[in-house]
C-alpha cells in the first residue's frame, strides 16, 4: 500500500480520497477549507498543513482542483508539488484543465524527475461516490500503468488514450457531448410539459430507446423537480466549454452546436446561476419559452 497525497477535497475529490482510504492506502489530504480535511481524517485519512507537507513523503500525488491556473499554482514554486515531492513520485492530475497546460505541467514534472499523467474523470458526483468514474488517461505507458491501481480504486473504466494532454482532449470532447445532451433534454422536458404529457412516464420510455443516455438517467428527475443543487457547477462547465471551443479553433474544426450551447451556458452564468448544477440549463429554456421559473 502507498502513501497518497490528495489535494482538492471538493465534490469529486472527497469521495475519491475516501475510496483510496478504503483501499488501504495512507491518504494525506489537503484542501483550501478545513471541514473537508476533517471529514477525510474521520474516514481514516491524515491531514496535511499545506501542499509541501502533503507531498513530502508521498509515493503518489493526486490533484483534483477546479481549473488550469489552480493546477499550475499547485505544481510551481518553492512551496509547490514539484519542489517538494521525492524524485520518482507519480503525479496524477484528475482535474479538468486545458490540454496544452497538461502538456506543460508534464514537462515541468519531468524536469524534476516527477512522473505526470493527466487523468480527468467523467461520471459526476454520483460516479465518484459509487466508484463508477470513467477515466481518460494521457501520459507515458509505464506511468499510466503505475497510475492504474489508484485510478481503478475510484473508477470502473480506465483507458489510456495517448500521450500527455490526450486525456484532457478526450475530456473536452466529453464535456461537449454532455452539455449538448443536457440542453436537448431540457428542451424536450419543457416541450413535453407544454403539451401536458407526464414527464416521468415520458422519460421512462425515452430512456429505453435511442434517446436514452446517462444524462437522461441521472439528470431528468432533478430537472423535473426543479432541483439544481450541484453536482457539476455551471461555472465549471463554462470553463470546460471554453477549453473545447479554444481547442477546436486551434485544430481548425467547426463545432457549431457546441459553440451555441457554450453561449447558453455563458448566459446562464451571467445571470448569476454559476453555482447551480448544469442541469439548470432548463431554467433558460423555460425563460425563452415564457414559462414560469422556480
Nearest Cα to 119, choosing from 77, 153, 87, 88? Answer: 153
Q: Which is nearer to ligand NAD, 66 or 163 (CB)?
A: 66
Question: Is 219 designated active site?
Answer: no
User: What is the C-alpha separation between 177 and 157, in angstroms, rounded?
Assistant: 18
User: What is the C-alpha separation between 278 and 218, in angstroms, rounded?
Assistant: 12
Cβ-proximal residue to ligand NAD, closest one: 10
**Nearest distance, CB of residue 245 and ligand NAD, angstroms:** 16
Catalytic residue among 86, 129, 171, 219: 171
Q: Which is nearer to ligand NAD, 4 or 9 (CB)?
A: 9
**Nearest distance, CB of residue 36 and ligand NAD, angstroms:** 6
What are φ and ψ of residue 61, in 5° steps?
-120, 125
User: What is the C-alpha separation between 236 and 175, in angstroms, rounded?
Assistant: 10
Q: What is the DSSP letter of 271?
A: I
Q: Which is nearer to ligand NAD, 25 or 238 (CB)?
A: 238
Binding-site ranges for ligand NAD (CB under 6 A): 7-13, 30-33, 36, 64-66, 70, 73-74, 95-96, 121-122, 124-125, 231-232, 236
Q: Which is nearer to ligand NAD, 55 or 190 (CB)?
A: 55
Q: Return the residue matching grid coordinates 420510455.
A: 205
**Nearest distance, CB of residue 89 and ligand NAD, angstroms:** 17
CA gyration radius, the chain:
20
- Which residues, in sequence order, are CB contacts of 12 under 8 Å at separation 6+? 64, 94, 121, 125, 128
Catalytic positions are 171
Amino acid at each position: 500500500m502507498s502513501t497518497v497525497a490528495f489535494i482538492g477535497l471538493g465534490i469529486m475529490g472527497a469521495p475519491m480520497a475516501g475510496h483510496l482510504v478504503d483501499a488501504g492506502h495512507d491518504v494525506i489530504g489537503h484542501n483550501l477549507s478545513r471541514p473537508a480535511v476533517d471529514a477525510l481524517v474521520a474516514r481514516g485519512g491524515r491531514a496535511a498543513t499545506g501542499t509541501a507537507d502533503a507531498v513530502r513523503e508521498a509515493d503518489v500525488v493526486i490533484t483534483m482542483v477546479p481549473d488550469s491556473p489552480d493546477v499550475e499554482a499547485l505544481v510551481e514554486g518553492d512551496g509547490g508539488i514539484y519542489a517538494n515531492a521525492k524524485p520518482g513520485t507519480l503525479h496524477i492530475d484528475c482535474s479538468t484543465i486545458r490540454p496544452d497546460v497538461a502538456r506543460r505541467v508534464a514537462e515541468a514534472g519531468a524536469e524534476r524527475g516527477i512522473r505526470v499523467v493527466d487523468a480527468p474523470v467523467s461520471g459526476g458526483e454520483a460516479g465518484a461516490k459509487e466508484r463508477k468514474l470513467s477515466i481518460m488517461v494521457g501520459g507515458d505507458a509505464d506511468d499510466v500503468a503505475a497510475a492504474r491501481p489508484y485510478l481503478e480504486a475510484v473508477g470502473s473504466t480506465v483507458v489510456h488514450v495517448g500521450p500527455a494532454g490526450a486525456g484532457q482532449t478526450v475530456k473536452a470532447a466529453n464535456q461537449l457531448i454532455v452539455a449538448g445532451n443536457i440542453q436537448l433534454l431540457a428542451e424536450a422536458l419543457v416541450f413535453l410539459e407544454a403539451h401536458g404529457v407526464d414527464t416521468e412516464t415520458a422519460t421512462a420510455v425515452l430512456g429505453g430507446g435511442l434517446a436514452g443516455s446517462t444524462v437522461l438517467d441521472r439528470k431528468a428527475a432533478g430537472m423535473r423537480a426543479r432541483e439544481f443543487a450541484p453536482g457539476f457547477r455551471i461555472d465549471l462547465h463554462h470553463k470546460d466549454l471554453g477549453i473545447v471551443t479554444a481547442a477546436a479553433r486551434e485544430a481548425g474544426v467547426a463545432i457549431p452546436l457546441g459553440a451555441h450551447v457554450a453561449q447558453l451556458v455563458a448566459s446562464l452564468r451571467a445571470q448569476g446561476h454559476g453555482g447551480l448544477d448544469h442541469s439548470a440549463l432548463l431554467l433558460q429554456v423555460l425563460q425563452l419559452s415564457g414559462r414560469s421559473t422556480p
